[in-house]
Structure 1
Amino acid sequence: MSLSEARFHDLVDATQQGLEDIFDDSDLDVDMENAGGVLTLRFENGSQLIFSRQPALRQLWLAARSGGFHFDYDADSGKWMCDSTDELLNEMLVRIVAEQGGAELEFDEL
């Protein structure tokens, strides 16, 4: 069963809000901007994470210093899964945030 556009937008909105909450609750100095469905996180060292929605593909895209990643929503697990590596978004973010922001954060709720 394919993901409806409305459900897709609800899932991305919830994911982006969850990300904002996690970073707000952390001690990291991160500037956040959410505009036009794109969430940009800027770390103190100038590196960025950019989360953008791709409605036509029903994907959430992540641009990081280590590359660009495309995530499909896996209804069975209730998680976003990378279409090329099968790594879960929450697992990848632990690694990427440690690399770019120098902090260990938990993203289990995503």
Structure 2
Amino acid sequence: MNDPLVLAAAVAVLAGATFALRAAGPLLRSRVTVPARLERLMETSAAVLLVAVVATTALTEDQGFAGVARPAGVLAGGVLAWRGAPFAVVVLTAAGIAAGLRLLGVP
């Protein structure tokens, strides 16, 4: 993969495939009927996938536990987001709590 031409071709193919997949949804939506049960299942699976990514990122680092500061910040941000706080407030509060705990020596 040291050849720039191969790298550019790979990027172009992946970009084209990504565009095609993203365009397929709106284009095929009117042609394909999805049962209501399957649609609910897809919505639920998207939420489960998001929670799994958040949990993995919040709790682990380098194949081990991330410490207490990061999960505490994520928890605070999650509570604020759930309560409807503005995005900037959520991010700054989560980062501030994690940074403050680390400053106090909490891992």
TM-score, normalising length: structure 1? 0.36
Greater fraction of residues in helix: 2
Report which of the two structures shows the higher radius of gyration computed on alpha carbons.
2
TM-score, normalising length: structure 2? 0.36
